[in-house]
Amino acid sequence: MQSLGSGSSGNAFLIKTDGASILLDCGVGIRTIDRALRIHDRRLDNLDAVLITHEHSDHIRSLASLFGKKTPIVATAGTRRQANIPPPQWEEITFARPLAIGSVSVWAIMVKHDAREPCGYLIETPHARISVFTDLGSWHERLVEPIRASDLVVLESNHDEELLRNGPYPAYLKRRVASDVGHLSNDICACSLASALGSGRLQPTIWLAHLSQTNNSPGLAENAARSAFFDVGLSLDVSALPRTVSGPVWTPTTVREVSSWTPKRVPPESSQLTLDSLP
């Protein structure tokens, strides 16, 4: 897996296994996506699927370039409507059951964000699990299980709360970012991960995503995570993803057989918001 950009300027991830090539979000330029695919011996025309988390432009900037191709575009029903995904190309994913893409199983996990029906993803390959939660305003118990089951965890660490509070954003934007449908702070990201992983069996790699250019820095985000992990006796590989360029390539260090994952029942909570409800 490789990040092709992670931040308000654009978000995209490339996932490549022996049996499938998947793009998760396509909010960076189409040339960036095409160049990354060619490096990994793939092309836009032979992607097996594109997964979309939600309809905001920094996640679907290049989506229209894929319209009319054979590549299935996977999204929730709410995201499909807001992103105007052509119905013949749309592959619906729900929160109730996984979607098979070759040898890969994909679970949509509900998150809270100011979009119609946003989600994160748990991606199961034959030998590893990856969980990706890039835009969410608040933590929820339903995220614990997929994160605890993953070998690579990608979680938003958007802002330092003090920098946001004292920074240059107008008041309405500060309220939006800090709201429970906005973006996750360094401290909430760090404490939530530490709580989820402190009693887990796996020691995943952690990628901190969607850092604010104005209200954060890689050092602040990484230090918050490491401090929270230290407090619960964890020593994990933690790195903040670069905002506007491609990041490192992750591969499992230990190949293991992954049994099918089934989520425990967590009380449902609607993630669908009307435009009138935005802070």
Selected residue with higher pLDDT from 2 and 46? 2
Report the number of distinct structural domains present in the chain: 1
In a domain, 204, yes or no: yes
pLDDT of residue 202: 81
Please indicate, yes or no, if residue 91 is contained in any of the structural domains: yes
Residue 56 lies in a domain: yes
Range of the domain at 68: 2-244
pLDDT at 267: 52
- Could you tell me if residue 255 is inside a domain? no
Q: Quick one: which H or E segment has residue 172?
A: helix 171-178
Nearest to 61 by CA among 30, 91, 92: 30
pLDDT above 90: residue 207:
yes
- 98 domain residue, yes or no: yes
Which residues, in sequence order, are CB contacts of 190 under 8 Å at separation 6+?
Answer: 157, 224, 225, 227, 228, 229
Residue 126 has which token pair? 């034959």
CATH number where 176 lies: 3.60.15.10
Task: Tell me the per-residue pLDDT of 138-193, one tens digit each, with 9 for 90 and over.
Answer: 999 999 999 999 999 999 999 999 999 999 999 999 999 999 999 999 999 999 99
C-alpha 98/C-alpha 100 separation (Å) is 7
62 located within any domain? yes
Portion of the chain with pLDDT greater than 70, in percent: 94
Which of 45, 55, 109, 106 minimizes the C-alpha distance to 85? 55
Rg value, the chain, Cα: 17
Q: Is 45 inside any structural domain?
A: yes
Q: What is the pLDDT of residue 200?
A: 73
Please report which confidence band the pLDDT of residue 268 belongs to, taking 50, 70 and 90 as the band edges.
low
Is residue 26 very low, low, confident or very high in pLDDT (cuts 50, 70, 90)? very high
Residue at 277 is within a domain: no
pLDDT tens, residue by residue, 222-262 = 999 999 999 999 999 999 999 999 999 999 977 677 777 78
Taking only the tens place, the pLDDT of each residue in 143-153 is 999 999 999 99
CB count in 10 Å sphere of residue 172:
10
